[in-house]
A and B are shown apart, each in its own frame.
Chain A
Amino acid sequence: MPRLPDPVVFAIGAEVDESRVARWLAGAEPAGPARTVEQALLDTFDGRLYRRGLVMWREGSRRAPSLRLQQAGAADLSGRVESGDPDRILVADLPEGVLNDRLADLIGERALQPRVRIRTRTRPWRVCNGDGKTVVRMAVEEPAVVGGRGVEADLGRRLRVVPVLGYPRDMERAVAALERRLEHQPMPLAEAALAAAGVRPEGVSSDVEVPLVPEMRADIAIAAICRRLAEIVDDHKAGVVADIDPEFLHDMRVAVRRSRAVLKEMRGVLTPEQAARARSDLKWIQEITGPTRDLDVLLHEWPSMVEPVPTWMGPDLGPLLDLLRRERAEAYSTMRRHLTSRRFAAAWSAWQELIAESAPTGSAPTGSAPIGPSFAGPSFAGPEAGRPIGELAGRRIVAVYRSMARAGAAIDDDSPPEALHDLRKRGKELRYLLELFGCMWPEERVKPLVGALKGLQDVLGHFQDDEIQALELRGLGPVLAATPGGTDSLIALGFVIEELTRRQHQARADFATRFSDFAAPANRKRVTGTFR
């Protein structure tokens, strides 16, 4: 609908009888019986709607709930969800149209989940003109946060005054009359509900953002980073186990991979014995979560992968897609079993114990202040534990960059794919070093390097992902052949693999350009001039 001014909400005490409103406003009358509305405020786990100033309400029956998206400066958007789980709404569940258009890119693969539930008793009122036409809508609302045990917090009585399109003066008159008697409600309903329920509106972030200074002891800095990464794993594990959306697993795996990179690059900070168990446990966690993630990526890429398949062969892909979904379900089930196993619990608690702060040791290490008031260090006892983190991280950034520059320069058209895969692996390590430790150097020095590295990693990522996906799909051939309709599906599969191979060739062709940007003299100088 065309943009209307936002509703005006007044706080209206319990002592104010509704009929008094009728006396304050000429033409005001009840517009229907009171009713009770159940609503859930939806957002993604990482608060993507909140961060964009959007508020999404789910209302109505659970079988076909309606969604209403409120956005400042624009008309509300609404739509009805007729598929999927109402507590886990994905883009694919949103009806086609404006709501889908507005949210698809923003939420991506994330699910919309209830952050807080409210129950509102609402009695509609209206102001009519001489023709009996509604020119202002109003509602006396009594919202409350509800949980498993019923009402948990009363959110205060409100009088909501809503303009009607084409009648701005009537709205102005009504608001002016009410302002003489009532105070504006200071907090929007969504915000008040979140605050009352103790829910962080910004959601749970996967950002690491541990403040560091170059003089800080390496063991303290590394432990703080690892603790933050472990916190991210803890935050996301429940969502992975409940299979809420693929981003939970992605973020959890990135946190584990970053932890492994830290252990590898900062190996002198821990003793070899300390590092060995941690590296083996984290590697295992990465391995048990890998197959599900690979299949998530494959299913996400599916629409673009099957684009070159002739339209008339489209239905032949059905058995293949079904098979992929079954494989994914099996992989998830295995992963879930591992994640809830005793082995996982033991590995994770050993890791947390290793990175935990130990009792204060006495003298405060230089530059440890940003981490917090405690000067307690971890029990890391490697030879470089006491070295300043700036020196150590800078040295590793230069070394990894140089090793990548050397390895990349040696790659030519005849190099085996493994050479590119190895380079990608090193690239990830460099990226993590820059992301985790880059805050110690001026942003204008670090950012261009991250940009060039990202360009290179994108190409290397495509090269490797396309290969893995082609191999994975090929591996399904024998199973597919044995399923009904499998032969036709195999023919269609040929088109998909051909497309993946074409893309991989393209990525390989793009490699030289991206690598020369990354290894350009300006970047070499930037690296040695900044981090050494």
Chain B
Amino acid sequence: MRILATYNIKGGVGKTSAAVNMAALAAGQGLRTLLWDLDPQGAATYLLRVKPKVRGGVRKLIERRSEVDALLKGTDIEGLDLLPADFSYRHMDLALGDTKRPEARLGQLLGPVGRDYDLAILDCPPSISLVSESVFETADALIVPLIPATLSVRTFEQLVRFVDEKVADPPEIVAFFSMVDRRKRLHREVVDDLGRRYPQVATAAIPAASDVERMGVERRPVVSYAPGSPAGRAYAALWEETVDRLGLR
């Protein structure tokens, strides 16, 4: 099982939208896919119409007193299962902190279902914490959405440095621009500049589009209800590029 994680220290940059759409595209291509909503806000769980509830809460899960496969929920998309969010995930840091090797724990939890899936996508909460460090240790690749603003360039550079310096076996990084409005000169400049300077930045970019915002109403991935829209096509292109870059085929 390959593990990807959508991550950015900032919130509201398109992590969950990317996670849900990429998971749906992967399942549609026949990959047995698991999406783990690690964010206590439970947006991915909401979008897939599942109740944000994990029996026993985060502590039981982290202490491995809950069987992960008993917590999984099938989604409306065939081939895509969800390990839902739970509001108690807000204490995941504390629960991880009480374990012996917190950075290895998320990987250990996924171990028993590793043969059941080809791909796991972790939708991370926006922060830098023990949870994210454990994600960095576990994931084969980080999928990093960036909004086209000067500050997000700085954030991206910090992330690349952190991963290289602090993570024993650093995951690959695939960054992409999200919420791009090509009518804005600043957006165009930032996208072009960072794309030139960093090979990790994907060519595909997700536009700022009402189709993406509509996910909250539809409670489905864009690629399910508007696959031919610019946003739907952009997610498909991003997924294909990710597959190629990471050799997921």
Contact = CB atoms under 8 A, between A and B. Distances in A.
A131 interface: yes
Contacts, number: 45
Contact of A166 (B32, B73, B79): B73
B30 A1 contact: no
A137 B78 CA distance: 10
Interface stretch (B87-95, B99-107, B109-117): B109-117
B3 to A, nearest CB: 16
| Most chain B beta carbons < 10 A, residue from A1, A75, A98, A132 | A1
Contacts of B115: 98
Interface residues of A, number: 19
Contact of A79 (B30, B71, B81): B30
A134 B72 contact: no
A166 B117 CA distance: 16
Contacts of B71: 166
A166 B71 CA distance: 7
B30 A78 contact: yes
A35 interface: no
A167 B117 contact: no
B42 to A, nearest CB: 13
Interface string B64-100: 0000010111111011010000000000000000000
A2 B49 contact: no
Contacts of B79: 1
A75 B51 CA distance: 24
Nearest to B115: A98
B50 interface: yes
A79 B118 CA distance: 10
A133 interface: yes
Contact of A164 (B69, B74, B117, B118): B74
A167 B73 contact: yes
A76 to B, nearest CB: 9
Interface string B113-131: 1011110000000000000
B219 A165 contact: no
Nearest to B76: A134
A2 B116 contact: yes
Interface in A122-153: 126, 131-134, 137
Contacts of B116: 1-2, 75
Contacts of A164: 73-74
A97 interface: yes
A131 B49 CA distance: 6
A137 B77 CA distance: 11
**Chain B contact surface mostly:** loop
Given A98-B115, A133-B50, A165 B72 contact: yes
Interface string A148-170: 00000000000000001111000
Given A2-B113, A132-B49, A132-B219, A167 B74 contact: yes
Interface in A72-109: 75, 78-80, 97-98
A133 B51 CA distance: 10
B75 to A, nearest CB: 8
A2 B69 contact: yes
A126 to B, nearest CB: 8
Nearest to B29: A80
Contacts of B30: 66, 78-80
Contacts of B69: 2
Nearest to A101: B115
A80 B248 CA distance: 13
Interface in B114-172: 115-118
Interface string A163-190: 0111100000000000000000000000
Given A80-B30, A133-B50, A165 B118 contact: no
A78 B79 CA distance: 10
Interface in B20-63: 30, 32, 48-51
A97 B31 CA distance: 11
B70 to A, nearest CB: 9
B34 to A, nearest CB: 9
Interface string A371-408: 00000000000000000000000000000000000000
| Most chain B beta carbons < 10 A, residue from A134, A137, A166, A167 | A166
A303 B49 CA distance: 50
Contacts of A133: 48-50, 76
Shortest 6 CB-CB contacts between residues of A and residues of B? A165-B74, A166-B73, A133-B49, A164-B74, A2-B69, A134-B76
9 contacts: A1-B117, A2-B116, A78-B32, A79-B30, A132-B219, A134-B76, A164-B73, A164-B74, A165-B81
Interface of A: 1-2, 66, 75, 78-80, 97-98, 126, 131-134, 137, 164-167
Given A1-B81, A167-B74, 6 more contacts: A2-B113, A75-B116, A133-B50, A134-B74, A164-B73, A166-B73
